[in-house]
Chains A and B, each alone.
Chain A
């Protein structure tokens, strides 16, 4: 049994009380594994995950205190085009997939609160269908000179959930078979140990979101501390993995410059910048639709009640502040990492 603190976990998800299982998902190996893992959970059979996940008037934050696990078969849309709110690293074939809905963590600023009607976790168990679609995507990519870039932990934190759903492991093994695939696995956990037995591969980038400890402890509920994330980063680099450091989102909290400046210094003291694959930077931003829904639910966090501007369909800090914060981070990071390895959302 791994130490749950690796995952920054709380008892909210370490012992699910209920498993809702689609009839069509019952016979999948992952379903059997999860049923064994949560043998005391009550099992409720369902026709379609949406009958539970998409009920009207659910309370996201109330459900976060008692998350249920829904096991389902994804019928279609195994690949999505990368979002304009994400860095594309100049890769033309930038995609993400949704192996699960929702996340075991509960960050105050997380757009999932505005995106999904429920905080319950949906796990799609038909992994092979994702692999088939990804192979097709690789073969049909628009620029054969570049890899097919796929983020598999985009609307979730897969590594944090690896002890329950070993999808990072499965995708790493899949990537070994696909020379034109480049995967990113992004996390706020310290759960690197869950995949540490695997040989590293340059087809998988392990990415850690890093925040000042004050931000992590106050606004990133359930996640691993900064210190533990950096320990995981250190281990992954030592084992030869390409590691991406994500200073994203940068939040306009009081004394943000001091906090994020100190963060950069702490990171470079613990991690040799030369050993880091690349760095991303981005200030807080989300879609207008998600922002509006989040504000209706969250009347208790200052992060959503700052001064924002809307640009097209994106809500973010006003241009002057955004540029100030981005320039600050680029400068501080550029001193250590060099401009060419910094990818910023602006």
Chain B
């Protein structure tokens, strides 16, 4: 199951790259780092850049994996918090999983589906176009303020179900607009990686709840028959459902259908005849 990470800054990405021992993937036009099933892209700052890089990574990878929806995708980064430092209980270094992401420019909100149990606390995140001053803290919903989450989420949700999209933010400041030292940023991210990794694992463990009685081998066989008999998409779906019906009603494996992967058909009528033979074999009524 691929794990995709979209991170705005190199300083945020560095501890993640080290933790997962990722290597730069020179084949991409984007800054992409990977190892085995883990892919990380450095998106740059801002909602638009995050959306573009996330969409690029997804469109590139989802063609490679057989089951797209097994993929989990996270945005990880620092964020300000609307609470003043002395107001508590939120402190620099605290980390949160976003349960609501609001794009301030449009007023639209997005909701990752929180099916996994993670060790992280939760917060709303408001995505702004430029850093928010402390004096403007009251203009957004109390919680975290960042510059990427809304763009990231919208791009991700174009490809993935909402329970496979996560957004984790580490509090870096209380909206005091001062430039953070890169090493400090890396430290903040490094300090959250145990919980972040646990959250990723929790997301990976979610079952989509759509088990198929047909095994991968069954699906391969049905696909081979489709190719051999030149079945239309509709007929292919019917054949898959006949095979499911057979297994569900008999409780048995599929009968031997390999001969249908060797026949050759030249006309539609020949294909139809073979399909009817299949239907007869798989019929359980």
Contact = CB atoms under 8 A, between A and B. Distances in A.
Nearest to A300: B211
Interface in A1-23: 17-18, 20
Interface of A is mostly: mixed
Interface residues of A, number: 33
Nearest to A59: B208
B278 interface: no
B212 A300 contact: yes
A60 B99 contact: no
A34 to B, nearest CB: 18
Given A65-B209, A297-B210, A305-B244, A57 B109 contact: no
Interface in B1-38: none
Contact of A42 (B99, B115, B249): B99
Interface in B194-210: 206-210
How big is chain B's contact interface, by range?
Answer: 20 to 34
Contacts of A60: 209
Interface string B86-107: 0000000000000110000000
Contact of A299 (B113, B115, B206, B211): B211
B207 A62 contact: yes
Contacts of B114: 17-18, 66, 68
A57 B161 contact: yes
Interface stretch (A24-32, A44-52, A212-220): A44-52
B210 A61 contact: yes
A62 B208 contact: yes
A59 B210 contact: yes
B157 interface: yes
Given A62-B208, A307-B285, A299 B213 contact: yes
Interface in B254-278: none
Given A46-B109, A60-B209, A62-B208, A295 B241 contact: yes
Interface in B109-135: 109-111, 113-115, 122, 124
Interface of B: 69, 99-100, 109-111, 113-115, 122, 124, 141, 157, 160-163, 206-214, 241, 244-245, 248-249, 285
Given A45-B100, A63-B163, 17 more contacts: A17-B114, A44-B99, A44-B111, A56-B157, A57-B157, A57-B160, A58-B113, A59-B163, A61-B209, A62-B209, A68-B114, A298-B210, A300-B211, A300-B212, A300-B213, A302-B248, A305-B244
